[in-house]
Amino acid sequence: MKLIKLSQPHNFMKQDLDEMVLALGYFDGVHIGHQKVILKAKEIAKNLGIKSAVMTFNPHPLVVLRNQEGIDYITPLDEKIRLIEELNVDLLFVVEFTKDFAALLPQQFVDDYIINLNVKHAVAGFDFTYGHLGKGTMETLPFHSREQFFHTTVEKQTDHDRKISSTLIREVIRSGDVTYANKLLGRPHSVTGTVVHGDKRGRTIGFPTANVEVSDVYLLPPTGVYAVSIIVNGQEYEGVCNIGYKPTFNKEKSAKPSIEVHIFDFQNEIYEEKVSVSWFKRIRSEQKFHNVDELISQIANDKVAALQYFGKKTV
Ligand SMILES: Cc1cc2nc3c(=O)[nH]c(=O)nc-3n(C[C@H](O)[C@H](O)[C@H](O)COP(=O)(O)O)c2cc1C
Ligand SMILES: Nc1ncnc2c1ncn2[C@@H]1O[C@H](COP(=O)(O)OP(=O)(O)O)[C@@H](O)[C@H]1O
């Protein structure tokens, strides 16, 4: 996949690029609704015998237009790029979302970011908007197209009558129902980070834990214990994870929760390794225990619960 970063103004002209079918969207989460849009573009491209492309925007419009700092991404940009690449599209445009870009009139957006990129067919979801104040919609697209390209609108995808959207999935992850979030994403929700040193207490209580430090932009499930998998050095292991503040030991809440994974059937030293943690099922809330022995026996129960979730015999 070829990656092209665009910022306003860009100077691509039609003749600089091959003809293509373009899927447009913000695509945070690359969920099953997004996948449908991207796969539709691929299908049309295949039928026409031309390139398939995706256009996405970064950062989130709210960061730029409402100066929101704390926007949490289901998939930060590098993760989004990786997932789109896995869908085997030929080309990905990442458009820098700036105030200048947001100020483009709908016709200017269509001229510069669709027609001038040699797009022959545009695909987007039913509620895609473009141009200043999102005034351009899938209804106005034929008028702005100057008959230079066709378009396909992907209808609303729902689950239990609710629109499958990044907003819904954020809500579901925040509620802790990672199992349902995974269904809507079409894959497990994951975070990628680095194994850092902790208090070295884990090994003394019989449950060493890899402390995974992730970038602040990730949307994390709420504090608590989860059945997880973790990819270390390209290999996937199952485990049980606590996200939280370890109130049994810590009087003060740290600035951000720690993510600690006890990996099953694993003994290696993995400090500084890059790992990805996937959330499968919430087991319980984090608790403050009266003593370490109570914590240890609860962690043993958590381990059984996670093993049972993964379908392993526990006796
Ligand atoms: C499955 C699991 C569940 C945990 N649950 C709690 C909990 O409810 N309350 C708590 O204070 N700490 C909990 N912990 C965190 C432990 O206190 C922590 O792993 C231990 O202190 C080791 O920390 P260290 O890796 O920094 O050495 C849990 C850890 C694991 C692996
Ligand atoms: N089964 C395991 N699960 C997680 N980490 C393990 C495991 N076995 C060994 N380790 C290693 O031990 C470290 C965790 O030990 P721990 O005493 O909890 O130390 P720390 O407080 O630094 O996390 C991990 O970062 C990893 O390098």
| Distance from C-alpha of 185 to C-alpha of 14, rounded to nearest angstrom | 35
Residues in the chain where the model's pLDDT stays below 70 = 69-70, 315
* pLDDT, tens digit, 9 for 90 and up, residues 272-297: 999 999 999 999 999 999 999 999 99
Co-location of 193 and 300 in the same domain = yes
Co-location of 115 and 78 in the same domain = yes
Co-location of 153 and 253 in the same domain = no
The domain that holds 203 is classified in CATH as 2.40.30.30
On whether residue 177 sits in a domain, the answer given is: no
On whether residue 315 sits in a domain, the answer given is: no
DSSP β-bridge partners for residue 258 = 244
Which tokens sit at 20? 């293509």
Residue nearest to atom 19 of ligand 2 (CA): 200
Co-location of 283 and 209 in the same domain = yes
| Distance from C-alpha of 52 to C-alpha of 89, rounded to nearest angstrom | 5
Per-residue confidence (pLDDT) for residue 105, from 0 to 100:
98
CB neighbourhood size of 77 (10 A) = 15
Which tokens sit at 297? 């026996």
- List the domain range (segments joined by +) for residue 209: 188-309
Which tokens sit at 44? 């049309």
- Strand 51-58, strand 91-96: pairing: parallel
The domain that holds 55 is classified in CATH as 3.40.50.620
Co-location of 158 and 193 in the same domain = no
Co-location of 227 and 280 in the same domain = yes
Given 129, 163, 197, the domain boundary residue is: 163
Domain tally for the chain?
2
Q: What's the CA-to-centroid distance between 246 and ligand 1, angstroms?
A: 6
Residue nearest to atom 22 of ligand 1 (CA): 202
Residue nearest to atom 19 of ligand 1 (CA): 202
On whether residue 77 sits in a domain, the answer given is: yes
Co-location of 74 and 217 in the same domain = no
Residue nearest to atom 2 of ligand 2 (CA): 263
Q: Are 88 and 56 in contact (CB under 8 A)?
A: no
Per-residue confidence (pLDDT) for residue 67, from 0 to 100:
72
Give the 3-state secondary structure of residue 58.
strand
| Distance from C-alpha of 284 to C-alpha of 292, rounded to nearest angstrom | 18
Co-location of 149 and 111 in the same domain = yes
Residues with CB under 6 A from ligand 2: 195, 197-203, 208-211, 262-263, 266-271
On whether residue 179 sits in a domain, the answer given is: no
Q: Which ligand is nearest to the CA of 203?
A: 2
Co-location of 148 and 207 in the same domain = no
Per-residue confidence (pLDDT) for residue 120, from 0 to 100:
98
pTM for this entry: 0.95
* pLDDT, tens digit, 9 for 90 and up, residues 121-137: 999 999 999 999 999 99
Per-residue confidence (pLDDT) for residue 70, from 0 to 100:
66
| ipTM for this prediction | 0.95
